Chain A
Amino acid sequence: MIDDLLNDFLAETAEILAEAGGALVAWEADPADRAQLDAIFRLVHTIKGSSGFLSLPRVTALSHAAEDALDQVRRGNRPANAALVTAVLAIIDRLSGLCTALGNSGTEPQGDDGDVIGALALVDETPTAVAAAPAETTEEDINTDLLQSWRSIRVPLPLLDSVMTGVTDIVLARNEFARMLRESGAEASVIASFDRLSDSIAGMRQSVSQMRMQRIDKLFAPLPRIVRDLAQDLGKKIRFSTSGGEVELDREMMENIRDPLIHIVRNAIDHGIEPLDERVAAGKGVTANIAVSARQSGNQIEIEVRDDGRGLSPDALVAKALSARIVGAAEAKALTPREKLELIFRPGFSTAAKITAISGRGVGMDIVKANLEKIGGVVELRNDEGRGLSIVLRVPMTLTIISGLMVRASGQYFAIPRGSVREILLETSDSVRIDRVGGGELVTVRGEQFPLLRLEQLLGGEIDASEDCDDRAIILIRPGQGMSYALSVAAIHDHEELVIKPAAPMIMATGLYAGTTLPDNGRPVLLLDVQGLLAAAGVDASEAGRLSDANAEAAAEAAAARDAVQLLLFREAGGRTRGVRLSVIERVEEVPATALFESAGAVQVRIGETIFPVHAGRVPEGGGAVKLLRLYDGRSVLCYRIDAVIDIVRLPDAVQPAAQPGLIAGVAIVGGEPVELIDPFWLMAQYEAGAAGPDQRQPLCRLANDADGWASNFLAPILRGAGYRVIGGDEASEERPDVQLCLTGAAAGPIAADVPLVRLRTSPAAAGPEDDSIYRYDRAALLEALRKQVAGGRP
């Protein structure tokens, strides 16, 4: 009986102490916060009360001393200062120690607490103005508060777990029963009452899951104290805040992220936050911020630790990894910026310039990552070099029920944890290339190579020829950080929420399976161990070695993409998909429908102070917004009404031209669908009637040098807009140019001696009095100079 009471007391006290630590630190930051002080007082008061009942004299004396001191503050007889908080924290530490000893031995150890109690009395020496208002709360009020806040009971965890297991079994039994009912063709009334049962089981499962849920602020409770102590040790000033404490998480998951979270917070204080002088030099406030926040997104919980310290320096990380021989020079060169950051997850990596007592203990982010991955979570870095780092932990809400992807191989179904699936493709897809190399297979997906494993072969079977081999699927699997492979299966079935149970030991011993599950159809399904499959195949799935190839291919692809013409796909108001060359689009405009009006039989739009023609049969009816593509030919604008922009794709090489010139230039196949391509030339011509006739002679301007493409990209449209024809320096022309432009400073191309020359410079200021060049962005001066030269050069 006494043991039960003692256990309850210890469990309750451990919670209270954790909470009190956090509350004290918050109160220290804002001594005027009366509510915080009352809360601490109540907590200490509770410990004193329960300990008296259990006759634990040391605990009673300690809590009494703290209560006394806090009461003095509440009554306004004593100031709240850092020294007092430190003294109360010392008492709380001593209480924690006593409780641990009590838990181990069952009796209160002998000892003297005069030191910490005395320290509490000593800090009283400099009475100053008192922050807290005199107390009016009486003891009775406090007790009523307590009763209200403790209306809950304690349940041993094994009992909770067994309830959870029981409910899981009920759910499975319900699934089986549902199947039998379906097969037996039961009466509607039977099915109706089964559905009712089914609903209440679902409700019960929900409640039981909630029973296992705990508010995440339990996890946050010890953090303020850790931050305070560490900041004091390191001489840093830190404002610590938490948010989203009401988010709930399965207690088992909570256990698994407690240590990683504390580690990340300590890291942030030790490595992330700069020393005071560095912060000042960087123009930041002296007080640094660390914020821990939690939020739920779907059935995942995101916990973010954000600091406004120096962030991670990718180059410093690489240098460090090189000196620690974690990467070779060749590999280091090939790392992408993201991969550079992720070096901190490599075993043996420590970001501190020197190992400190605080966080550089050789165990680091690799352990954090491993712990998270063990429970199906991931760690993400969001780095803002110089301004801070935020680390996001993303974990599933519960362990036993996972989202699984059902696949088929050898005529049998298997489940794959959805969390490790990166992408699903068909083997016949255009973006997939399969190569047989020296007896092995590899698949290239958009320039990235993966070892290809066939599930049937991994499982020791043959690929069944009777199954559809044509549309086999490839699943890109990422079993862990920096590893990936492709798994080929006969077919993908569907996604299901699966209750996972361990399989028999001799089945687990194969290393291929992570457990069994029983979907609704009543046939057991094996959950594949995505890491075990890799081990069984004996394939090196590390992404590191493949980087250079992938980079080279990616670079080649990027180059090809640059050369290719890009096509903007959009949906017409009529629902039809059409495309137009991206280069003729100035921008996409969204205007209220009221901006469109009809004038002289043509639809026009007012955008700002300008009126543009719109290619539309009539003014659209109704209000709302209208999306317009602004086509620009360097001179005039035409708006084209669309419903929505769909995508930007590469213009296919093959375009079937239209028979007649008109709005549609031709048809191309994009993503398997025919897409009509708009002819901007024809469109513009419709609205340009009355503009300068094509037979009028336009002066020819030659760009003598254009090494970096500036002249053709920036200058040529302006020139064309101003009525010039433009040719490049190396284009042969039978006609003598009227004028030529030359960029000073760039490598000069051949300059024709008998053509007037205008020189452009890149700096706004002239080099000297005899410098007659023109600043290249001075449009007016440039056009004026050209006009003079053309006029002067002509007889």
Chain B
Amino acid sequence: MMEKLYLIARIADTRVALRSRAINSVVTVGTPVHVPAAPPHVAGLFALRSRVFTLIDPHVVIGLPPVPVAPGQRVIVVDVAEHGYALLADAIEDVCFIEAPETRVAGKLLPGWARVADAMIEHEGHSLLVVDPSHFVTLPVAKAA
């Protein structure tokens, strides 16, 4: 059942579906602590339940300019290689079961999205990109910007 459960969110100005098993939780953050000299997609650090998480700005990973973190903004918490990260989300829409199968990505994506998208899925008459959150963390960041 869990395989069919998706989190629908708006990340980097795009609606995407995230496989729920990759996701730890969705929380709100205050002002993060800036990390000087860190790669540009690192938006800062914040503490949650006495753990320190690294905040990732997906806009930068996709190749868009970074967005400021607003207090109370919702983030998607994921664990990658035993470290805690959180992806800044523009909006969290829904958690739902999608019965439709994941399909191969059809059509040409922007290079930024091509790197993070695994598949596509049909949901309520829209095609959504299925993305793996860990790709936002581990992928080499585009040098441009």
Contact = CB atoms under 8 A, between A and B. Distances in A.
B50 A460 contact: no
Nearest to A521: B47
A507 B47 CA distance: 16
Interface in B7-49: 33-39, 42, 45-47, 49
A516 B50 contact: no
Contacts of A525: 33
Interface of A: 169, 172-173, 175-176, 410, 412, 458-461, 501-507, 509-510, 512-513, 516-518, 522-526, 536
B33 A412 contact: yes
A459 B36 contact: yes
B6 interface: no
A507 B38 contact: yes
Contact of B38 (A510, A522, A523): A510
Contact of A506 (B33, B34, B39, B46): B39
A461 B36 CA distance: 7
Contact of A524 (B36, B39, B52): B52
A36 to B, nearest CB: 49
A506 B52 contact: no
Contacts of A523: 33, 47
Contacts of B85: 504
A173 B50 contact: yes
Contacts of B47: 176, 518, 522-524
B36 A460 contact: yes
8 contacts: A169-B51, A176-B47, A506-B39, A510-B38, A516-B52, A523-B33, A526-B33, A526-B35
B36 A504 contact: no
B37 A526 contact: no
Per CB-CB distance, the 6 closest pairs between chain A and chain B, nearest first, are: A172-B50, A459-B36, A504-B54, A173-B50, A524-B45, A524-B52
Contacts of A501: 52
Contacts of B126: none
Contacts of A513: 35
B81 interface: yes
Nearest to B35: A507
Nearest to B36: A459
Contacts of B46: 524
Contacts of A458: 37
Interface centre among A175, A524, A525 (most CB of B within 10 A): A524
Contacts of B137: 504, 506
Nearest to A506: B39
Contacts of A176: 47, 49-50
A459 B33 contact: no
B54 A507 contact: yes
Interface residues of B, number: 20
Contacts of B83: 502, 504-505
B81 A505 contact: yes
A506 B50 contact: no
Nearest to A179: B47
Contacts of A509: 39
Contacts of A460: 36-37
Given A176-B49, A507-B54, 20 more contacts: A169-B50, A172-B50, A173-B50, A176-B47, A412-B34, A459-B36, A459-B37, A460-B37, A501-B52, A503-B54, A504-B42, A504-B54, A504-B83, A506-B42, A509-B39, A510-B37, A510-B39, A523-B47, A524-B33, A526-B45
Nearest to B50: A172
Contact of A173 (B36, B49, B54): B49
B116 to A, nearest CB: 16
Contacts of B35: 507, 510, 513, 526
A513 B81 CA distance: 19
A745 B32 CA distance: 81
A92 B81 CA distance: 45
A507 B42 contact: yes
A173 B47 CA distance: 10
A175 B38 CA distance: 27
A518 B45 CA distance: 11
A522 B45 CA distance: 11
A502 B39 CA distance: 17
Interface string B72-89: 000000000101010000
A140 to B, nearest CB: 53
B29 to A, nearest CB: 12
Nearest to B34: A412
Contacts of B54: 503-504, 506-507
A468 to B, nearest CB: 20
A461 B49 CA distance: 30
Contacts of A459: 36-37
Contacts of A461: 36
Nearest to A513: B35
A503 B85 CA distance: 11
Contacts of B45: 503, 516, 524, 526
The interface centre, meaning the residue of A458, A503, A517, A536 with most chain B CB atoms within 10 A of its CB, is: A503
Contacts of B38: 506-507, 510
A518 B50 contact: yes
Given A504-B85, A506-B38, A507-B42, A175 B33 contact: no
A565 to B, nearest CB: 50
B118 to A, nearest CB: 21
A512 B35 CA distance: 10
A501 B52 CA distance: 9
A81 to B, nearest CB: 58
A510 B50 CA distance: 24
A512 B37 contact: yes
A455 to B, nearest CB: 9
